[in-house]
Chain A
Amino acid sequence: MRIDVLGAGPAGLYFAILMKRADPRHEVRVFERNPPDATFGWGVVFSEGSLDELEHADYASYVAMMDAGARWNPLDVRYRGTSTRVRGNAFSGLGRRRLLGVLQRRARELGADLTFGVEVDSLDRHLDADLVVGADGANSFVRRVLAEHLRPTVDFAPSRYAWFGADLAFPVFTYVFRETEWGLFQAHCYPYDEAHSTMVVLITEDTWRGAGLDELDERSSLELCERVFAADLDGHRMLSNRSLWVSFPWVRCETWHAGNVVVLGDAAHTAHWSIGSGTRLALEDAIALARAFVKHDSLPAAFAEFELERQPVVERLQDASRVSCDYFQSLTRYFTFEPLQFTYQLMTRTPRVTHTNLTVRDADFVRRVEADFMERATGRRTFAAPPPVFAPLRLRGLTIPNRLVLMGGPSDAGAGLVLSELHAVSLDGRASPETPVGVPRPPRPDGSLRCLQIGHMGRRSACRPPRFGVDRPLAAAAGWPLVSASPLPYAPWLPVPAELDRDGMERVRDDFAAVAARAAELGHRMLLVDCSRGGLLASFVSPLSNRRTDAWGGDLASRMRFPLEVVRAVRRTWPDDLPLAVAYSAADHARGGLRQRESIAAAAMLHEAGADVLLVRTGQTVATSHPDYGRMYGVSYADRVRNEAGVPTIAFGQITTLDEVNTILAAGRADLCVLDLPPGQPESRSTSSRSSSTVTS
């Protein structure tokens, strides 16, 4: 096969090596715009044992890379004058120039033809090739030319970074956070040989402008960074080589091939550098594509195999890297954390690293995190403590024995808190005729602490029980008139509610207060007021459902007025020493919905009005609004509310394992977690039913 590779970066060179290895008869030509020893950027980093693949694919280049690089496994987090170390993270760093040198030599040794200094600006020159490989980087010419087929999207992260070097070898991978008068400067530093490190400096757009970096030349911007990181450089210098402040481009393509052309590495997809995977993805792409040609003779079959194999892997890494990028752009919200928890949060910023993973990496670090967590929960310092899920939570005079929240049902034993189904505060607030009204009975005396949910479903009332679906209206004769903030039906097929007037508001408020009083009388110890899922209170909060022009509509303060009045009324009635929770929708997921800023402000208002903890949900404001369902989809909202509004939160949304719960809690993303029970697998009762029959006999 005649193969033309455009771009002599890691992806292109490695593919050339592997194809020549697989069959020396392949004619492989590599074309590169830059000279062979050009280097932009400093060192590259490989994480988490990603080198294993390289060892198998081509041992000779693997050994050469290892000889040229630096390896370490701890990482340090320098934050607020402290340094916290976490062990067990396998990393390797390698100078980019050395890496390319190794790959160039190996490619030549195997008989590939390398040409440098030729501009890659036309595919016409490669018409005689059987296969053309676009390995020409994030700014790919090939991708642009074939855009119609590859259907790429490129968007930019809202932050700035610059890729510096430094003439000192940081002892290990080091995250440095330095607060300046213009905002936070962070540097992600790793050594790549005995005497040099890469320092990637990341700042927000505001900090970039505030510090005047948008107007400084390369020299001055380097000097400014040297001043910011003076303590870390310890007399050494930072190095610049076209180290410009840029925004990270997110590149995705629907497909990676067109005709006989295929794109690899950054040309096909980018993953944010903060999870250190760009080079790894590029090399793994080359491996997968070369393997596909071992298995298939035809280009279409090989391309199909390549994409089937790589696209899921790349998408997962891209998703994780997006989460990581978001984290680094917004981490000032965690600056109240103690260094240990801050470091834990950093380590677990993507769902790929959990409490259990960290325990395997550095058991002592996790022991200290767990002991700290328990100390914050109980005030008692111990050498070791159970994982965070077992820590009690004190809310007012009530101690919730552990952090696990379950919806009431056959498998709710052992939860720290069991949420009841929604009880309507009045007949007209029932979701369906089967919805319980008021407080029918005292809490079940079975040992679990129960939280009684009370609410008014507003324009979602008077529906059928949800066995065959939600929002199915009762037959007209069986229904009842609905009320809402504004006379807008929840869904086009549902009845139009009446706008709740002032008398109605007072009645609803008094209903909530009366039910709260009754719940207290009957011995309930925790109450949750529902202001979510498009119910009556929620209908006031969202601008999509509240179009009032009176004192209860308009800006956020006005829209919150009635829900806050209800929360205050409940709080006045509900005993002082018992906690009150509120469920609220932190996002509408619909155009024209609640803004993020409003969402945080609303949380703070609810807290101030007496909500001790917020169950954070999203969506269902209107019939078509829903979260983007995925693993732990609600946690980022609980996190933001907790750490920006300063309100304790209950996280909700596809949290399915205790490992996830521990991670969320220890990272300070929420204070309690609702665990989704696996479907259709109630706990086996066989042993307990046997023993209970013994007891009763």
Chain B
Amino acid sequence: MQVGVGLPTSTPGTGRDLVLDWARRSDAGPFASLGVIDRLVYECWEPLASLAACAAVTRRVRLVTMVVIGPLRPTALLAKQAATVDALSGGRLVLGLGLGARHDDYEAAGVRSRGRGDALTRQLVELRLHWEGGAAGPRPVQADGPTLLVGGGGSAAFARAARHADGYVHGGGPPRAFAGAAARARAAWVDAGRPGAPRLWGQAYFALGDEATRDAGAAYLRDYYRFTGGFEERIAAGNLTTPAAVTDLVRGYEEEGCDELVLLPTVSSPDQLDRLAEVLP
């Protein structure tokens, strides 16, 4: 299993220097990938634009969206953006797509949220067609296009990942929750008749440091997930705030067959990278 780190693009107080420096240092450090998350109606940065900037200041790490809310974007435009980031990064883009969990994102984008599952399925099929030489270029640098991942919790998401993507990206939780999702993703893969096995990605939030850091991380998660109406406390409680919690989770995900785990920061502080790097095996 490889371990990546999230980019602080939605944590409060982020800025250009922090993000670009973070990207450079991740590229030099032990991390395999840089991940971004997506939400429209929130004080956070656009994921593909952020990765484009990272592409310019990194040479090695994979750049991964986990996940972009696909149906908010017209497919031809998304195909072009993704191909551009892939070109700028020399073929390092991994494109994770999902539905998001909020209706207000759809309203703000002027997109109907009804039928969004089918829309995402179709988008996955059409992205490949664009990349293989549709009217709207360019072609991605990666010969077969960027790796496509699908997120989401229900059987429809597992089926979508198995039929139209290269793998599945889990939404977070303890290793046991990941294991359950991974088993279902594999079952859907076999059912679809795909050769080999799906790529399996995981993610988790962390905040390492003193009590103020932990509190700030929890406050951010409560705010970010306030729309869940009660669930935010549980997400905040799951934040990894000790070195032992991080290593336990990393070990647990590795045992359950995760291919790549991305640890997402919950505070906009550059020392998080060093603290995390120190903890990792």
Please tell me if B116 contacts chain A, counting CB pairs below 8 Å.
no
Question: Which chain B positions have C-beta within 8 A of A304?
Answer: 233-234, 236-237
Pair B191/A257 contact, Cβ less than 8 Å: no
A492, A533, A680: the one contacting B197 at CB < 8 Å is A680
Pair B234/A469 contact, Cβ less than 8 Å: no
Answer whether A255 and B230 are a contact pair too, CB < 8 Å, given A468-B128, A629-B184.
yes
Pair B155/A627 contact, Cβ less than 8 Å: yes
Give the A interface residue count (CB, 8 A).
Answer: 42
Pair A676/B193 contact, Cβ less than 8 Å: no
A260 to chain B, nearest CB (A): 13
Please tell me if B165 contacts chain A, counting CB pairs below 8 Å.
yes
Please tell me if B214 contacts chain A, counting CB pairs below 8 Å.
no
Please tell me if B72 contacts chain A, counting CB pairs below 8 Å.
no
In the bound complex, what is the Cα–Cα distance between A472 and B125 (angstroms)?
A: 7
Among the listed stretches A377-385, A618-626, A638-646, which one makes contact with chain B, having 4 or more residues with CB under 8 Å of it?
A618-626
Question: Which chain A positions have C-beta within 8 A of B230?
Answer: 149, 254-255, 257-258
Question: Which chain A positions have C-beta within 8 A of B155?
Answer: 626-629
Among the listed stretches A305-313, A538-546, A604-612, which one makes contact with chain B, having 4 or more residues with CB under 8 Å of it?
A305-313
Question: Which chain B positions have C-beta within 8 A of A656?
Answer: 183
Residues in B162-206 with C-beta less than 8 Å from chain A: 163-166, 176-177, 183-184, 186-198
Pair A469/B128 contact, Cβ less than 8 Å: yes
Q: From B117, B126, B163, name the one whose CB has the most chain A CB atoms within 10 angstroms.
A: B163
Please tell me if B9 contacts chain A, counting CB pairs below 8 Å.
no
Minimal Cβ-Cβ distance residue in A for B181: A629
Question: Which chain B positions have C-beta within 8 A of A654?
Answer: 183-184, 186-187, 190
Question: Which chain B positions have C-beta within 8 A of A633?
Answer: 187
Pair A308/B192 contact, Cβ less than 8 Å: no
Please tell me if A466 contacts chain B, counting CB pairs below 8 Å.
yes
In the bound complex, what is the Cα–Cα distance between A308 and B237 (angstroms)?
A: 8
Question: Which chain B positions have C-beta within 8 A of A312?
Answer: 176-177
B258 to chain A, nearest CB (A): 12
In the bound complex, what is the Cα–Cα distance between A467 and B132 (angstroms)?
A: 14
In the bound complex, what is the Cα–Cα distance between A530 and B145 (angstroms)?
A: 33
Question: Which chain B positions have C-beta within 8 A of A619?
Answer: 159, 191
B281 to chain A, nearest CB (A): 21
Question: Which chain A positions have C-beta within 8 A of B166?
Answer: 468
Question: Which chain B positions have C-beta within 8 A of A303?
Answer: 233
Pair B233/A466 contact, Cβ less than 8 Å: no
Pair B128/A471 contact, Cβ less than 8 Å: no
Question: Which chain B positions have C-beta within 8 A of A171?
Answer: none
Answer whether A470 and B193 are a contact pair too, CB < 8 Å, given A255-B230, A626-B188, A676-B186.
yes
Chain A 459-474 interface 0/1 with B at a Cβ cutoff of 8 Å (1 = within): 0000000111111100
Please tell me if B136 contacts chain A, counting CB pairs below 8 Å.
no
In the bound complex, what is the Cα–Cα distance between A634 and B166 (angstroms)?
A: 24
Chain B 153-164 interface 0/1 with A at a Cβ cutoff of 8 Å (1 = within): 001101100011
Answer whether A624 and B121 are a contact pair too, CB < 8 Å, given A466-B193, A629-B158.
yes
Pair B158/A679 contact, Cβ less than 8 Å: no
Minimal Cβ-Cβ distance residue in A for B145: A468
Question: Which chain B positions have C-beta within 8 A of A492?
Answer: 122
Pair B196/A680 contact, Cβ less than 8 Å: yes
B25 to chain A, nearest CB (A): 32
Pair A308/B159 contact, Cβ less than 8 Å: no
Chain A 397-423 interface 0/1 with B at a Cβ cutoff of 8 Å (1 = within): 000000000000000000000000000
In the bound complex, what is the Cα–Cα distance between A305 and B238 (angstroms)?
A: 9
Question: Which chain A positions have C-beta within 8 A of B117?
Answer: 624
Minimal Cβ-Cβ distance residue in B for A257: B230
Residues in A663-697 with C-beta less than 8 Å from chain B: 676, 679-680
Answer whether A471 and B191 are a contact pair too, CB < 8 Å, given A628-B155, A656-B183.
no
Question: Which chain B positions have C-beta within 8 A of A209?
Answer: none
Residues in A465-502 with C-beta less than 8 Å from chain B: 466-472, 491-493
Please tell me if B278 contacts chain A, counting CB pairs below 8 Å.
no
Minimal Cβ-Cβ distance residue in B for A654: B187
Please tell me if A653 contacts chain B, counting CB pairs below 8 Å.
yes
B254 to chain A, nearest CB (A): 14
Pair A624/B257 contact, Cβ less than 8 Å: no
A624 to chain B, nearest CB (A): 7
Please tell me if A301 contacts chain B, counting CB pairs below 8 Å.
yes
Residues in B124-163 with C-beta less than 8 Å from chain A: 124-126, 128, 144-145, 155-156, 158-159, 163
In the bound complex, what is the Cα–Cα distance between A647 and B63 (angstroms)?
A: 52
Question: Which chain B positions have C-beta within 8 A of A144?
Answer: none
B145, B194, B197, B236: the one contacting A466 at CB < 8 Å is B194
A505 to chain B, nearest CB (A): 26
Q: From A305, A469, A628, A654, name the one whose CB has the most chain B CB atoms within 10 angstroms.
A: A469
B144, B159, B229: the one contacting A629 at CB < 8 Å is B159
Pair B186/A470 contact, Cβ less than 8 Å: no
In the bound complex, what is the Cα–Cα distance between A687 and B48 (angstroms)?
A: 49
Minimal Cβ-Cβ distance residue in B for A632: B187
Pair B118/A653 contact, Cβ less than 8 Å: no
A466, A468, A493: the one contacting B144 at CB < 8 Å is A468
Please tell me if B231 contacts chain A, counting CB pairs below 8 Å.
yes
Pair A653/B195 contact, Cβ less than 8 Å: no
B116 to chain A, nearest CB (A): 13
Question: Which chain A positions have C-beta within 8 A of B189?
Answer: 679
In the bound complex, what is the Cα–Cα distance between A255 and B145 (angstroms)?
A: 41
Question: Which chain B positions have C-beta within 8 A of A466?
Answer: 192-195
Answer whether A470 and B164 are a contact pair too, CB < 8 Å, given A308-B238, A629-B158, A676-B187.
yes
In the bound complex, what is the Cα–Cα distance between A656 and B188 (angstroms)?
A: 13
Please tell me if A631 contacts chain B, counting CB pairs below 8 Å.
yes
In the bound complex, what is the Cα–Cα distance between A533 and B190 (angstroms)?
A: 13
Question: Which chain B positions have C-beta within 8 A of A623?
Answer: 121, 163
In the bound complex, what is the Cα–Cα distance between A472 and B37 (angstroms)?
A: 28
Pair A631/B128 contact, Cβ less than 8 Å: no
Question: Which chain A positions have C-beta within 8 A of B198?
Answer: 679
Q: From A492, A533, A624, A656, name the one whose CB has the most chain B CB atoms within 10 angstroms.
A: A624
Pair A469/B191 contact, Cβ less than 8 Å: no
Residues in B109-126 with C-beta less than 8 Å from chain A: 117-118, 121-122, 124-126
Please tell me if A300 contacts chain B, counting CB pairs below 8 Å.
yes
Please tell me if A630 contacts chain B, counting CB pairs below 8 Å.
yes
Pair A626/B234 contact, Cβ less than 8 Å: no
A293 to chain B, nearest CB (A): 14
Pair B187/A629 contact, Cβ less than 8 Å: yes
B125, B128, B176, B197: the one contacting A679 at CB < 8 Å is B197
In the bound complex, what is the Cα–Cα distance between A45 and B163 (angstroms)?
A: 46
B177, B194, B231, B257: the one contacting A470 at CB < 8 Å is B194
Question: Which chain B positions have C-beta within 8 A of A676?
Answer: 186-187, 190
Question: Which chain B positions have C-beta within 8 A of A254?
Answer: 230
A490 to chain B, nearest CB (A): 11
A69 to chain B, nearest CB (A): 33
Minimal Cβ-Cβ distance residue in B for A674: B190
Pair A300/B195 contact, Cβ less than 8 Å: no
B161 to chain A, nearest CB (A): 10
In the bound complex, what is the Cα–Cα distance between A624 and B194 (angstroms)?
A: 17
Residues in B232-254 with C-beta less than 8 Å from chain A: 233-234, 236-238
Answer whether A255 and B188 are a contact pair too, CB < 8 Å, given A312-B176, A626-B156.
no
Minimal Cβ-Cβ distance residue in B for A466: B194
In the bound complex, what is the Cα–Cα distance between A268 and B77 (angstroms)?
A: 46
In the bound complex, what is the Cα–Cα distance between A89 and B215 (angstroms)?
A: 47
Question: Which chain A positions have C-beta within 8 A of B238?
Answer: 308
Chain A interface residues toward B at CB < 8 A: 149, 254-255, 257-258, 300-301, 303-305, 307-308, 312, 466-472, 491-493, 533, 617, 619-620, 623-624, 626-631, 633, 653-654, 656, 676, 679-680
Show 17 residue pairs from A and B whose CB-CB distance is below 8 angstroms, ordered by the A residue. A149-B229, A149-B230, A303-B233, A304-B233, A304-B236, A468-B128, A469-B128, A469-B194, A470-B164, A472-B128, A533-B193, A619-B159, A624-B121, A629-B188, A630-B184, A653-B187, A654-B186
Closest 4 CB pairs of A and B: A679-B197, A304-B233, A626-B159, A654-B187
Q: 7 new A-B pairs (CB below 8 Å) besides A617-B191, A624-B118?
A: A312-B177, A468-B144, A469-B163, A624-B121, A624-B156, A631-B183, A653-B191
